[in-house]
């Protein structure tokens, strides 16, 4: 049985989660928890970020979640609406 990876959120990511609509924040958190428990289940929506080794991008609707995954801990770096995620 695989164990669930630990999720951590940067201060910036938590601030964004606090500002966006609650249902959107809930969706983002649940998708991240789903990824932590079963990374393969969201493979289609996860891509490596070009030019930023070690960083991945998870697509959740119009939102982009930038994170790193060292195998034990998923560190959520940034949340942003599509288009604003890379600035």
What confidence score (pLDDT) does residue 84 get? 59
The token duo for 36 is 């932590």
Tokens at residue 25, please? 């924040």
The domain limits of the chain are: 6-81
* Tokens coding 80: 């942003």
CA dihedral in degrees (53, 54, 55, 59; nearest 10)? 110
Q: What pTM value is reported for the model?
A: 0.86
pLDDT for 83: 73
Per-residue pLDDT, 19? 96
Give me the pLDDT at residue 4, please: 82
**May I ask the CATH architecture of the domain 6-81?**
2-Layer Sandwich (3.30)
Residues 73-87 pLDDT 10s: 999 999 999 775 555
Q: pLDDT per residue over 29-75, tens digit each?
A: 999 999 999 999 998 999 999 998 899 999 999 999 999 999 899 99
Main-chain dihedrals φ then ψ at residue 52, nearest 5 degrees: -130, 80
Helix (H, G, I), strand (E, B) or coil at 6: strand
Beta bridge partners of 81: 63
DSSP state of 52: S
Higher-confidence position of 26 and 84 = 26
């Amino acid at each position: 049985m695989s164990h669930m990876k630990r999720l951590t959120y940067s201060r910036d990511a938590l601030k964004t989660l606090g500002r966006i609509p609650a249902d959107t924040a809930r969706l983002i958190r649940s998708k991240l928890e789903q990824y932590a428990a079963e990374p393969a289940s969201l493979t289609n929506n996860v891509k490596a970020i070009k030019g930023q080794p070690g960083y991945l991008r998870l697509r959740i609707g119009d939102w982009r979640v930038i994170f790193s995954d060292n195998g034990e801990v998923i560190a959520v770096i940034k949340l942003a609406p599509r288009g604003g995620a890379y600035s």
